[in-house]
Amino acid sequence: MKIIKKLMPIALAVFFFGLLGTSTVFADDSEGWQFVQENGRIYYKKGDLKETHWRMIEGKTYYFDYNGEMVVGWQYIPMSVKGYTIGPYPNGMRLEGFPMSEWHYFDKNGVLQEFVGWEELEIKTKDSVGRKYGEKREDSEDKEEKRYYTNYYFNQNHSLETGWLYDQSNWYYLAKTEINGENYIGGDRRAGWINDASAWYYLDPTTGIMQTGWQHLGNKWYYLRSSGAMATGWYKDGSTWYYLDQPNGDMKTGWQNLGNKWYYLRSSGAMATGWYKDGSTWYYLDPSNGDMKIGWTKVNGNWYYLNSSGAMITGSQTIDGKVYNFASSGEWI
């Protein structure tokens, strides 16, 4: 037995460099389980019995599919999958807390990579997911330079996080699992604009960090609330009102007809109030609501008349069949 234990690390090392025999035994344990290579695939067997699903061997974790073939690379493993382990557990039952769900990453030797936190890995594509040991990739193992990489975040179970992630005081969005053409999306860190639960968010194009506050993007201004959600419609910042397009969210400037009322938004986006001169024409905007006034309007004890376009009139004017005189400053005299 001592001789076997001494030889096991050597046999395992040979196994992981990949022999090409039709049927080769690589290692044996005290219960009779052993790595066997058959037709280029690796199995963990005891006689005719093949291990399937999770297995911990010599302190390393492996996964064998329903055919017993050892997997490598990206693997999506459903929550319902059960696993077994070698060790002082009754009847080899599943280890408590064993990883059981979502995306996991295995190296070329089939060992589960126990990542926790951020890792830069090859993007999941049809050539990098669901692979078995010994299975040739269509994109070829010697074309590493043609592969693309991105950042993924692994939780304490060494599986990919998806959705919103709060890490070191910053929010990130990790794509939820879907198939998009040849890409198996899920867990990759998003950047730029994303839509989640009917709200838009903007993530830094380099770091992926969720942005808040005023953002100048594509020559337009947007406001992102403290939650990161893009604001639309009227938005009050301090004592100043702004109008953000619905549904696009870009800040508006100039004259805007909103709810059958006219408003003027300065070049800064701030809603104008009180008297406002546009070219050579004066307009009066409600001091509280900002909507443009028409008709007779009293300001600081003086009466003014604003025609149907909102323009303040001066001089002699006929209104409702009567003649009125207005000073050059617009007051009725």
Average pLDDT over residues 151-168: 93
How far apart, in whole angstroms, are the C-alpha atoms of residue 200 and residue 139?
36
Whether residue 79 is predicted with pLDDT greater than 80 in this model: the reply is: no
Q: Are residues 18 and 114 in the same domain?
A: yes
Q: Are residues 230 and 298 in the same domain?
A: no
Whether residue 71 is predicted with pLDDT greater than 70 in this model: the reply is: yes
Average pLDDT over residues 307-325: 97
How far apart, in whole angstroms, are the C-alpha atoms of residue 166 and residue 162?
11
Range of the domain at 96: 1-138+147-159
The answer to whether 192 touches 173, Cβ cutoff 8 Å, is no
Q: Are residues 224 and 282 in the same domain?
A: no
Q: Are residues 8 and 118 in the same domain?
A: yes
The answer to whether 63 touches 109, Cβ cutoff 8 Å, is no
> What is the per-residue pLDDT for 24?
58
> What is the per-residue pLDDT for 178?
73
**For the domain that residue 224 is a member of, what is the CATH number?**
2.10.270.10
For the segment 33-54, what is each residue's pLDDT rounded down to a tens digit? 999 999 999 999 999 899 998 9
> What is the per-residue pLDDT for 111?
97
For the segment 246-296, what is each residue's pLDDT rounded down to a tens digit? 999 999 999 999 999 999 999 999 999 999 999 999 999 999 999 999 999
How far apart, in whole angstroms, are the C-alpha atoms of residue 294 and residue 329?
17
Look at 25 and 309; give whichever has higher pLDDT: 309
How far apart, in whole angstroms, are the C-alpha atoms of residue 285 and residue 100?
64
For the segment 111-124, what is each residue's pLDDT rounded down to a tens digit? 999 999 999 998 88
The answer to whether 201 touches 229, Cβ cutoff 8 Å, is yes
Whether residue 160 is predicted with pLDDT greater than 50 in this model: the reply is: yes
Look at 48 and 244; give whichever has higher pLDDT: 244
Q: Are residues 155 and 218 in the same domain?
A: no
Tell me the CA distances in angstroms from 231 to 163, 177, 200, 289, one per residue in order.
Answer: 21, 28, 9, 19
**For the domain that residue 72 is a member of, what is the CATH number?**
2.10.270.20
The total domain count for the chain is 3
State pTM to two decimals: 0.75
Q: Are residues 10 and 155 in the same domain?
A: yes
Q: Are residues 268 and 311 in the same domain?
A: yes
